[in-house]
Structure 1
Amino acid sequence: MTEHSIKGKSVIIAGGAKNLGGLIARDFAAHGAKAIAIHYNSAGSKDDAQATVAAIMAAGAQAVAFQADLTTAGAVEKLFADVTAAIGRPDIAVNTVGKVLKKPLFDISEAEYDEMSAVNAKSAFFFLKEAGKHLNDNGKICTLVTSLLGAFTPFYAAYAGTKAPVEHFTRAAAKEFGERGISVTAIGPGPMDTPFFYPAESAEARDYHKTAAALSPFSKTGLTDIADIVPWIRFLVTEGWWMTGQTILVNGGYTTK
């Protein structure tokens, strides 16, 4: 029977320099990953990427970092080619890339829509495509989406709407890659206590989100803690491999489907 664990495996994490992606990288290194390649989008995250690389290496794993804007198919192809050349064919691929926009429909420009679609949907599509091409058999793929996929709410049409296609990308990829033993999942956290959350929300909205989940009173901020998401991702790329083609909302009871 195939062993489904992180120990001795090679990993690629898109958006892996900091916040949730950085914590996943550190966690996987602590659980025995052999090599971890982290991607970061812009030069502004270079220092964070270098710090994460150092932490991975301190845990005993090989680590490399690559900068790329993943909104073109060519950039995603190059990333996987570079990663494969550096650490070999990955066993696990995690994509945390995303962009938030909170605006009324009437205020969203075509340029804003195109950017949201490119970051949240297009990059996820081509990440899945290249992961399917490059991963070893019995590999694991997990994409970060949003718990707003289970919400009935205004102002997030461009954000949740451009994350929604990833649900079907996940189902299709699970069917197509399944014959090689590759499982494909998506995780939808609730509003997370990271620097990405606060600029998009008004003070009133922040107060609402901090009390909206059933388990909010038991969270130090009321929001989803990234440390509570990491174990779910670790589970899905290890013992939880039998779960495939699914989008799972992990949010303390913030939304459901």
Structure 2
Amino acid sequence: MIAEPRPVRSLVDVEENKVMSELDQRVAIVTGASRGMGAAAAGRLAKGGIAVVVNYARARVEAETLVGQIEAAGGRALAVQADIGEPSGVRTLFDAAEQMFGGVDILVNNAGMMKLGRLIEVEDVDFDVQVALNLGGVFRGMREGARRLRDGGRIVSISTSVVGLYQPGYGVYAATKAAVEAMTHVLAKELGGRGITVNAVAPGPVETTFFLAGKSEEQVRAIAGANPFGRLGQPDDIADVVAFLASPQGRWISGQIIRANGGVV
């Protein structure tokens, strides 16, 4: 009896299977992960068998609740307090991840804030705090990730679809996120030789406390109605995109800005 020839697998297939078999050994840091899109991203990554460091600044109860939910589902997680707007914040997270899990493979730069106001009305303190967190925090995250991520790792930062829309009142916020996108393009070229991908996800309006704060029901309905899908985005809509970019299947996507906004242009 002549045996049928075994199918020949490509090197990509072999490498992907190897990575998938080691998926439960991967470790992710998600900044600002106690609620909203950050919590959804942390939970989604944990479902894939990835150990997750759940960062929070002040919402300890929410972060520890999320960790409890992940562990109850059989996952691994650790809540770590750190202010990403401070110079030592990101280092604290990497130190904790390495001590608990042995290293870091994925960094999700999610922590951020938004204070709206026409440029003529913006006070220096409001400008400084947004730059410190939205830009400074991501810069330090990228720098620390470049130094400490294992080869083949992933960096995913959260931008915003406001970049490109340039709506009145969003000047400072959009400027910080535009800078994040610029650094994403540059760092992707700097880290390509190590197989590390660097991308950003730019959501449109997402139904979180971050977005809803200060808006009336009428405003929220109007914003949702302006979307081609007739609704606001949900945290899981963004988490799924983050998870894909962080996955082995995202290996050939780098230096890109994914505008996950339901078709808003």
Task: Mark yes or no: TM-score above 0.5.
Answer: yes
Give a deviation string over 1:201-243, Cα, whole Å, max 9, x none.
3555323311122122xxxxx1111111111111111112211
Mapped to 1, the partners of 2:110 and 2:78 lie a distance apart of: 17
**Is the contact made by 1:102 and 1:200 (CA closer than 8 Å) also made in structure 2?**
no
SS at structure 1 position matched to 2:259:
strand
Seen in structure 2, the aligned counterparts of structure 1 residues 155 and 204 have a Cα distance that, compared at 3 Å, is: farther
* Alignment partner of 1:12 is 2:29: yes
* Alignment partner of 1:36 is 2:46: no
Mapped to 2, the partners of 1:79 and 1:73 lie a distance apart of: 12
Deviates more, 1:16-25 or 1:137-146: 16-25
* Alignment partner of 1:229 is 2:238: yes
Equivalent residue, structure 2, for 1:183: 197
Q: CA deviation at 1:194?
A: 0.6
Equivalent residue, structure 1, for 2:252: 242
Mapped to 2, the partners of 1:7 and 1:87 lie a distance apart of: 11
Equivalent residue, structure 2, for 1:253: 263
Equivalent residue, structure 1, for 2:143: 129
**Is the contact made by 1:138 and 1:180 (CA closer than 8 Å) also made in structure 2?**
yes
Mapped to 2, the partners of 1:147 and 1:225 lie a distance apart of: 15
Which residues of 2 match residues 163-202 of structure 1 at below 5 A? 163-202=177-216
SS at structure 2 position matched to 1:158:
helix
Which residues of 2 match residues 1-257 of structure 1 at below 5 A? 1=12, 2-3=15-16, 5=20, 6-33=23-50, 35-42=51-58, 45-216=59-230, 222-238=231-247, 239-255=249-265
Deviates more, 1:238-247 or 1:73-82: 73-82
Q: CA deviation at 1:92?
A: 1.1
Q: Which amino acid counterpart does residue 227 of structure 1 have in structure 2? A: D
Mapped to 1, the partners of 2:95 and 2:167 lie a distance apart of: 40
Mapped to 1, the partners of 2:210 and 2:85 lie a distance apart of: 19
Give a deviation string over 1:27-76, Cα, whole Å, max 9, x none.
2222222x21111011xx11111111111112222211111111122222
**Is the contact made by 1:37 and 1:87 (CA closer than 8 Å) also made in structure 2?**
no
Q: Which amino acid counterpart does residue 252 of structure 2 have in structure 1? A: W
Equivalent residue, structure 2, for 1:219: none
TM, length-normalised to structure 1: 0.91
SS at structure 2 position matched to 1:196:
helix
SS at structure 1 position matched to 2:162:
helix
SS at structure 1 position matched to 2:55:
strand
Structure exhibiting the larger radius of gyration computed from Cα positions = 2
**Unpaired runs of 5+ in structure 2?**
1-11
Mapped to 2, the partners of 1:119 and 1:47 lie a distance apart of: 22
Q: Which amino acid counterpart does residue 105 of structure 1 have in structure 2? A: L
**Is the contact made by 1:100 and 1:200 (CA closer than 8 Å) also made in structure 2?**
no
Mapped to 1, the partners of 2:137 and 2:191 lie a distance apart of: 18
CA RMSD of aligned residues (A): 1.5
Mapped to 2, the partners of 1:19 and 1:75 lie a distance apart of: 20
Mapped to 2, the partners of 1:165 and 1:78 lie a distance apart of: 24
**Is the contact made by 1:14 and 1:39 (CA closer than 8 Å) also made in structure 2?**
yes
Q: Which amino acid counterpart does residue 81 of structure 1 have in structure 2? A: D
Following TM superposition, where does structure 1 have runs of at least 4 consecutive aligned residues deviating by more than 6 angstroms? Answer: none
